[in-house]
Amino acid sequence: MRKFVIGNWKMNGDALEVHEYVHELKTALEGMPCSVGVAVPFLYLPQLTALLGRIPVSVVAQDVSQFKGSGAYTGEISAAMLRDAGCEYVLIGHSERRQYFDEDEMVLQQKLLCACEAGLNPIYCVGEDLNQRLQGEFFQVLDKQLAALEAVRDHLPATVWVAYEPVWAIGTGKVASAEQIAEVHAFLATRLRAILPARCAARLLYGGSVKSVNAREILALPGVDGVLVGSASLTVAELSRIIEEARAMA
């Protein structure tokens, strides 16, 4: 199966950049079979969908409301709205959401449920911080984070995406070692086999300072089905080098 490369723009870019990005991406991906997704800020999702047209790149949202249906939730974007905007996937539980918006397992469980019910594929993000890594508590932390997925197990789609993003590796240039990634991915695969219903299969992404220079080594690791790329996804040149590495491994 092809490795999945997702670019997460976070709170970066503007309408002009989205326009230029898609134009460049179209040229870069010409005749290149690959599995790619791009997560731009909410505001630019419909534009991204329209510009991509038939270019086989998935539109990914960076977050979703925890509230079901529609209603008096000023400022919120529902899962159905994201579907309407052309999204196929949504990041849920990114460490920046956990850190800056106090999103806990209860909230994330609701978000997962809303996404699944609207037919959006959640990409559930987990990862320990530096202190938890140094204290050797990371398996417990990851296990606790997985509880939100377990709580919604009956609603999950057949393929369940989980992204391991150690907080200490995000935006720091400090990528986790091959041993650390392989160890955590093996742990997650085992735990997910126990948590998920038999009809579901888990696929695992790694995220945290992925660049074209380290993408090959990471993508080649056992249990790594793709990468979630932050800052290196902001330019098509760098993202397409990562996509090339992923494609060479399919």
Alpha carbons 94 and 186: distance in angstroms, whole number: 20
Residue corresponding to tokens 């091959």: 178
Determine which one of 96, 103, 128, 165 is catalytic.
165
- Joined together, the tokens standing for residue 97 give 């959401």
Least distance (Å) from ligand 13P to the CB of residue 4? Answer: 13
23 is a catalytic site residue: no
Q: Does 126 bind ligand 13P (CB under 6 A)?
A: no
**Binding piece for ligand 13P, criterion CB under 6 A, among 50-58, 67-75, 76-84, 226-234:** 226-234
Q: Does 245 bind ligand 13P (CB under 6 A)?
A: no
Alpha carbons 199 and 215: distance in angstroms, whole number: 31
Give the binding-site size for ligand 13P (rule: CB under 6 A). 14
Q: Give the DSSP per-residue string, 165-216.
A: --GGGTTSS-PPPHHHHHHHHHHHHHHHHHHS-TT-EEEEEEESS--HHHHH
Q: Does 228 bind ligand 13P (CB under 6 A)?
A: yes
Q: Does 121 bind ligand 13P (CB under 6 A)?
A: no
94 is a catalytic site residue: yes
- Encoded one letter per residue, x for contact with ligand 13P by CB under 6 A and - for no contact, window 14-43 reads ------------------------------
Residue corresponding to tokens 């976070």: 10
Q: ∠250-124-227 over CA atoms, to 5°?
A: 30
- Joined together, the tokens standing for residue 53 give 């047209």
Residues belonging to the active site: 94, 165
Q: Which residues lie near ligand 13P (CB under 6 A)? A: 8, 94, 165, 170-171, 207-210, 228-232
